[in-house]
Amino acid sequence: MMTAENPYLPSPMRVEKVTVETEDRSIKTFDLSFIRKEDEQAFRYLPGQFAQLSVFGKGEAPFGIASSPTTSGLLQFSVSRIGLLTRALHQMEQGDLVGIRGPLGSSFPLQDMEGKDLLVIGGGFAFTTLRSLINYVLEKDNRGRFGKLTVVYGARTPGMLLYKDELEGWRQRNDLEFHVTVDAADDGWKGRVGVVPTAVTDIAPTADNTYAIVCGPPAMTRYTLPVLEKLHFPPERVVLSLEMKMKCGIGMCGRCNIGSRYVCRDGPVFTLAELRRLPPEY
The residue ranges that bind ligand FES (CB under 6 A) are 246-249, 251-256, 262, 264
Tell me how far the alpha carbon of residue 242 is from its chain's centroid. Answer: 10
Q: Using the rule CB under 8 A, give the single segment among 16-24, 70-78, 244-252, 268-276 that binds other proteins.
A: 244-252
The angle, 0 to 180 degrees and rounded to 10, between the axes of the packed helices 196-203 and 218-230 is 20
Minimal distance in Å, beta carbon 205 to other proteins? 29
Q: Using the rule CB under 8 A, give the single segment among 43-51, 80-88, 172-180, 229-237 that binds other proteins.
A: 80-88
Minimal distance in Å, beta carbon 158 to ligand FES? 35
Is 125 or 270 the residue whose CB approaches ligand FAD more closely?
A: 125
Task: Quote the strand ranges of 124-253, DSSP E.
Answer: 149-155, 177-182, 192-193, 210-215, 238-241
Is 24 or 114 the residue whose CB approaches ligand FAD more closely?
A: 24
Q: If contact means CB under 5 to 8 A according to the sort of partner, which of other proteins, ligand FES, ligand FAD, none does residue 164 touch?
A: none
Q: Of 81, 133, 101, 80, nearest to 241 (Cα)? A: 133
Asked if 111 interacts with other proteins (CB under 8 A), we say: no
Q: Using the rule CB under 8 A, give the single segment among 8-16, 131-139, 177-185, 221-229 that binds other proteins.
A: 8-16
Contact predicate 211/237, CB 8 Å: yes
How far is the C-alpha of 156 from the C-alpha of 174, rounded, in Å?
26
Rule CB under 8 A: choose which of 186, 252, 273, 276 binds other proteins.
252
Asked if 234 interacts with other proteins (CB under 8 A), we say: no
How far is the C-alpha of 70 from the C-alpha of 73, rounded, in Å?
10
Minimal distance in Å, beta carbon 122 to ligand FAD? 11
Sites of contact with ligand FAD (CB under 6 A): 50, 59, 61-64, 78-80, 82-86, 125, 128, 243-244, 246, 268
Is 253 or 273 the residue whose CB approaches other proteins more closely?
A: 253
Indicate the helix (H) or strand (E) that contains 228: helix 218-230
How far is the C-alpha of 118 from the C-alpha of 209, rounded, in Å?
9
Cβ-proximal residues to 230 (8 Å cutoff; 6+ apart), any chain: none
Q: Of 14, 20, 16, 13, nearest to 78 (Cα)? A: 20
Query: Which 13-42 positions form the footprint of other proteins (CB under 8 A)?
Result: 14, 35
Is 62 or 154 the residue whose CB approaches ligand FAD more closely?
A: 62
The angle, 0 to 180 degrees and rounded to 10, between the axes of the packed helices 127-138 and 164-172 is 40
Give strand pairing partners of 53: 61, 100
Asked if 132 interacts with other proteins (CB under 8 A), we say: no
- In the complex, the residues that contact other proteins under the rule CB under 8 A are 1-10, 12, 14, 35, 54-61, 82-83, 86, 95, 97, 99, 218, 243-245, 247-248, 250-260, 265, 279-282
